[in-house]
Structure 1
Amino acid sequence: MQVSGAEINRLLLYGTLIFLIMPTVLVVFMVFYQRRIHAHRQAQAAQEAQHQRDKLLVKLEAEENTRKRIASDLHDNIGQVMSLAALTLSAVDLSQPEKATNKIETVYLLITRSIHELRQLARLISATEILHGGLQQAIAKELEWVRDSKVLAVRYDSPAAPPPEISHEQAILLFRSFQELLGNAIKHAQASAISVQLHHTPQQLAIYVEDNGIGFHPPVDASSGGMGLPAIRERMNQLEGDFTIHSTPGNGTYACLKCPIR
């Protein structure tokens, strides 16, 4: 079978066209592919930037809530107690020694309570300094203070091996959440005993707090309600962790803080 000159010319033309078009197709494909990669990287960078902005906003909001709580504690708790102490002192009649003694004893109790509140507040503010020895030691020191005050019987279980290292920011947020739970047991639960457990795996750090107090009906969503639960939820959200609380009236309260280790 013979191939005509026209067919040969046609084949050469097709081959030439393919030879000329293929580089253009490859260039167009590479440009399109590079643009897709660039757009993907830009989307990732924007997503990461948004994530960092969200973390910063949560952090700032948590700090603002801490400042509000300090102001509230100073005004609502310490301020009111000291005002009551001043009013009681102003009513002391030294011509009636027995009544005066009773009023002075009341003032003494009110001042003692204010000192206790101030110490709790100081511990909240100075969490950074307390955590220099690590979270495990900080919890032990906090419970030692409670044990020495004879407010509650304290049990603390922690592993012999130190927990995996977490960032200083994570430690502060966890410790402040633990302080909140401990403060609730002291101020609201009317408990006589509290149990704290520190547990860790290579992937997670957990703090369990249980008291034998009067209990309460916790809100369905721990981001609502009183007793510092919203603040704890905010901190644990910032840690991308988990906060659960279980309680019923008359049966004490059980709470758990879980933080992923990255």
Structure 2
Amino acid sequence: ASASTARMKALSRRLVEAQESERRHIALELHDEAGQALVSLRLGLRLLEREIAEGGNVGGRVAELVETTDSVMDGLHRLAADLRPASLDHLGLDAALRQFARSAAAKFGLAVHFKARGFTAQRLPQAVETALYRVVQEAMTNVVRHARATRVDLLVERRDDQVLVMVEDDGVGFDSANAPGGEHFGLLGMRERADALGGTLTVESSPGKGTTIVVEVPSADSHPDR
């Protein structure tokens, strides 16, 4: 019982930390991108107002303001995609992860190789798609922050009544046998997502040999009321 209590406390702490980290990320993104761009937009509108009053040529100023507006829209779109990608709702897990792989490769300068197997027109339950997408997000965050990798292989595969996701990198690795309480690099959160769906998470890693994370969950939501 004490081990279970400790595990739940660790999970609660992890969830709180993750929420606070995400809030800080959103606040910084809004301040650094949208906030500064909107200040620039406001200044540009003031200058435009003055130029119109003086009868000047405002074509160049309007073009600048349109460009600034486009920049704000792009920034907000990226932020919204990080929170909940539209492709996950409209196209499904395989398409969303394919898009995520392309985005991560461009954003982080990694060679991300994506494969999807066994997917059909029949969608997975929303809870399964969301959980697996978040696992991949967390795994990629770990790669970027800790692994010092140059290549990531991402596989998602439907196998009869199971779905498998594998994230493998060529980074520095770690001693997975001695990771304290499964919390190393956020593994606890990923494991809890798998557990909640009746699935499993396995980690293979050793110093200097990269890391492989494999999650397998039932393709049907075992907790549809959640």
Residue 136 of structure 1 aligns to a residue in which SS? helix
Q: With the length of structure 2 as denominator, give the TM-score of the two structures.
A: 0.62
Match of 1:131 in 2: 88
Report the alpha carbon displacement of residue 207 of structure 1 after superposing the two structures with TM. Answer: 0.7
Could you say what secondary structure the match of 2:183 adopts?
coil
The Cα of 1:185 is off from its aligned counterpart by 1.0
Deviations 1:89-109 (A, max 9, x none): xxxxxxxxxxxxxxxxxxxxx
Letter in 1 for 2:17: K
Counterpart code for 1:134: G
Asked if the contact 2:119/2:158 (under 8 Å) is kept, the reply is: no
Q: Quote the sequence identity (%).
A: 24
Q: Partners of 2:77 and 2:24 in 1: how far apart?
A: 15
In structure 2, the partner of 1:71 is 20
Q: Say what the alpha-carbon RMSD is for the aligned residues.
A: 3.4
1:232 to 171, 187, 190: 190
Q: How does 1:120-159 map to 2 (within 5 A)?
A: 123=81, 125-127=83-85, 129-132=86-89, 133-149=91-107, 151-159=109-117
The corresponding residue for 2:203 is 245
Equivalent position of 1:215 in the other structure: 173
Contact 1:206/1:257 (CA < 8 Å) preserved in 2? yes
Match of 1:204 among 159, 162, 166: 162
Give me the whole-angstrom Cα distance separating, in 2, the residues matched to 1:170 and 1:222.
Answer: 27
- Aligned in 2, Cα 1:160/1:260: closer, same or farther, shift over 3 Å? closer
1:173 to 112, 131, 147: 131
Equivalent residue number for residue 28 of structure 1: none
Where has structure 1 moved over 6 Å in runs of 4 or more? 61-64, 118-121
Structure 2 counterpart SS, 1:180: helix
Change (3 A) 1:125 1:66: farther
Q: Of the two structures, which has the highest relative contact order with CA contacts closer than 8 Å and spacing of 6 or more?
A: 2
Computing the radius of gyration over CA atoms, which structure comes out larger, 1 or 2? Answer: 1
Using the TM superposition, give the Cα deviation of residue 165 of structure 1 relative to its aligned residue in structure 2, in angstroms: 3.1
TM-score when scaled to structure 1?
Answer: 0.54
Structure 2 CA distance for partners of 1:161 and 1:229, relative to 1, 3 Å: closer
- Secondary structure at 1:143 match in 2: helix
Distance change in 2, residues 1:204/1:160 (3 Å)? closer
Superimposed CA distance per residue, residues 156-205 of structure 1 (whole angstroms, 9 cap, x where no aligned partner): 11126437532101111111011111111111100000001112211111
CA contact (8 A) 1:222 1:229 kept: no
- Assess, with a 3 A threshold, how the Cα gap between structure 1 residues 190 and 178 changes in structure 2: closer, same or farther: same
Q: Secondary structure at the match of 1:183?
A: helix
Q: Superposed, which structure 2 residues align to 1:177-188 within 5 Å? A: 177-188=135-146
